[in-house]
Structure 1
Amino acid sequence: MSFLKLQNIEKSYAADRPAFSCSSLELAKGTKIGIAGETGSGKSTLLRIIGGLEKPDKGKVHMDGTSVYPKLDRLIPGHPEMAYLSQSFELPKFIKVIEFLQSNAIEEERFDQIASLCRVKQLLDKDTRALSGGERQRVALAKVILKEPVVLLLDEPYSNLDPHHKRIIKEVIRDISKETDVTILMVSHDPSDLLPWADEILILKDGEIVQIGTPKEVYYQPVNEYTAGLFGDYQKLDGSKWSSLKQDLIVRPEQLTLNNHGKTGEVKAVYFHGNHELIEVKTAHETIQARSAPGTYQKGDKVGVSLKLTDYSK
């Protein structure tokens, strides 16, 4: 039985443009769900509908077989068993972190556990005004985890963080996923952040879900160029020239391997990317880009090219 279920959802802010539309969506309990899409694709709207913070124009959302919306007749918006952390959260001023967090009635042992989990123990005696952006993010996350939600909704938790604090908050979210049974849905403005974390990824475009799959499936088997482009470099190749398939292929650079056999192509450019180089090769049929270890090829080299496709469908 699905844990979260959306049926016939429609939500619009303007008559000529739906913000989100979904005929059916079912999510299992305890899963980590990534939500990706371009700006304005409906990612935040989907989170808010699931969390009961926004009611759709039509349709139903059920959690564990019970409708989310009958619980919305409350002074504080949102479903009481769901926690939503927006990208524009604010902490109260003129208060110490420990005072802010301990407003929740919770046992000391559990408080210490969550403070450690969220990497905020060393911040407890600080004033909230003295915190960096990354520290504020972890404190805000600790606050919602202390409420022991059944579902955690994270709206771009990595936005506006420097690499150091982004790495820390990634570790925190990873540990929360491992050490609790909370179901987590996360939006990220950089979809590549979702690949190593999520069990499944939903791809949204113009308010509709265009693909659902495992990280490997949406990365290596995108349904279209829109999905492919969200996750980095790709190229569209004539399938008849590379395999028995007649349709065009969407291929990542690492799916193409350069070798010294056949030497049917010529290296036209080499682009350095730190831990790898992107090698542009002109073949008899088309120009392709493949990844290689730094220093392996130079402009003008003659190379062979092979393609490896793997089926990651469930």
Structure 2
Amino acid sequence: MSFLKLQNIKKSYVSDRPAFACSSLEVGKGRKIGIAGETGSGKSTLLRIIGGLKKPDEGDVLMDGSSVYPKLDRLIPGHPQMAYLSQSFESPKFIKVIEYLKTNSIEEERFDQVTRLCRVKQLLDKDTRALSGGERQRVALAKVILKEPTVLLLDEPYSNLDPHHERIIKEVISDIGKETDATILMASHDPTDLLPWADEILVLKEGMMVQKGLPKLIYHSPSSHYVAGLFGAYQVIDGTKWSSSSEQMIVRPEQFTLNNHGKAGEVKAVYFHGNHELIEVKTAHETIQALSSPGTYQKGDKVGVSLKLTDYSK
């Protein structure tokens, strides 16, 4: 039996356009699920429906075989075994972090473990008004983890953070996944953040799930131009020119390999990206883009080009 299951969910805000609709979705216990999609695709709505913060017009959400909604007749909104952290949370003012986080019901050992895990031990004596955006995010994470949720719902936790604090939050969320048994569903404003983290990725568009699968499958075998574009640079090539395929193919720059021995194409442009360069090569068939180490090629070089294809559906 699936730990979490969505059945025939439909939620609309205006007219008949669904904010989110899903005939079936199953999530195993302890899994890390990434949710990708453009702004307005339904990511937040999905998380809030799962967490019991928003009831669908139709359908049901089951946890361990029981509907989450009968438990919602309570003063505090949401399911008691789920924790939802939005991108626009607010912590109370005129209070120290330790006062905000610690209650009499929390054991000292547990408190020490969570404050270490969330990188907030050094912030405990600080006033909540003096926290930076990244520090507030970590404190908010510690607050929900201390409640020991069975399901953790993270709504774009990296948004509005500078690179330094974003890196720390990524480390914290990674450690939470390793050191707790929580099932985690995370939506991200940058879908590429989900690739190294998620066990599985759901891609939403206009309230509908358009693809679901392993990160490698989503990245290398996108179901559409929309999915491909969410996860980085891609191009469409004529499959008959590069493989036995008779169709157009979506490929990533790193699937092309360049060498100095062939004469299949000519370098037309070199774009520096720090730890790599994007090489634009004109071949007899079309212009392709490939990756290379910095300084390897320059405009005008004659190069060999090959394409590596891998089946990620197995």
- Report the TM range for the smaller structure's normalisation: over 0.9
Shift of 1:255: 0.2
**Which residue is equivalent to 1:284?**
284
SS at match of 1:169: helix
Letter in 2 for 1:137: Q
Deviations 1:37-96 (A, max 9, x none): 000000000000000000000001001111011111111110000000000000000000
Superposition map of 1:109-120 within 5 A: 109-120=109-120
* Aligned equivalents of 1:163, 1:224: Cα separation in 2: 30
**Which residue is equivalent to 2:209?**
209
1:171 aligns with 2:171: yes
**Which residue is equivalent to 1:59?**
59
Superposition map of 1:149-298 within 5 A: 149-298=149-298
SS at match of 2:23: strand
SS at match of 1:76: coil
* Aligned equivalents of 2:41, 2:143: Cα separation in 1: 29
- Which stretches in structure 1 are left out of the alignment for 5+ residues? none
SS at match of 1:240: helix
**Which residue is equivalent to 1:10?**
10
- Which stretches in structure 2 are left out of the alignment for 5+ residues? none
* Aligned equivalents of 1:112, 1:304: Cα separation in 2: 57
**Which residue is equivalent to 2:140?**
140
| Deviates most, 238-247 or 83-92 | 238-247
SS at match of 1:185: strand
Letter in 2 for 1:122: Q
Shift of 1:136: 0.4
* Aligned equivalents of 1:124, 1:262: Cα separation in 2: 62
* Aligned equivalents of 2:214, 2:233: Cα separation in 1: 19
**Which residue is equivalent to 1:105?**
105
Deviations 1:249-268 (A, max 9, x none): 11000000111333111111
SS at match of 1:210: strand
SS at match of 2:227: helix
Letter in 2 for 1:276: H
Shift of 1:104: 6.3
Letter in 1 for 2:27: L
**Which residue is equivalent to 1:311?**
311
* Aligned equivalents of 1:104, 1:259: Cα separation in 2: 65
Q: 1:104 to 1:11 in 2, by over 3 A?
A: farther
SS at match of 2:229: helix
* Aligned equivalents of 1:261, 1:63: Cα separation in 2: 58
CA contact (8 A) 1:20 1:46 kept: yes
Shift of 1:16: 3.5
**Which residue is equivalent to 1:38?**
38
Shift of 1:186: 0.3
Runs of 4 or more consecutive aligned structure 1 residues displaced over 6 Å after TM superposition? none
CA contact (8 A) 1:32 1:177 kept: yes
Letter in 1 for 2:112: D
Shift of 1:105: 1.8
* Aligned equivalents of 2:16, 2:304: Cα separation in 1: 51
* Aligned equivalents of 1:182, 1:240: Cα separation in 2: 47
Letter in 1 for 2:122: Q
Could you tell me the percent identity over the aligned residues?
Answer: 82
SS at match of 2:116: helix
Letter in 2 for 1:241: K
SS at match of 2:11: strand
Q: CA-atom RMSD, angstroms?
A: 0.8
* Aligned equivalents of 2:261, 2:67: Cα separation in 1: 61
* Aligned equivalents of 1:103, 1:263: Cα separation in 2: 70
CA contact (8 A) 1:104 1:146 kept: no
TM-score normalised by structure 1 residue count: 0.99
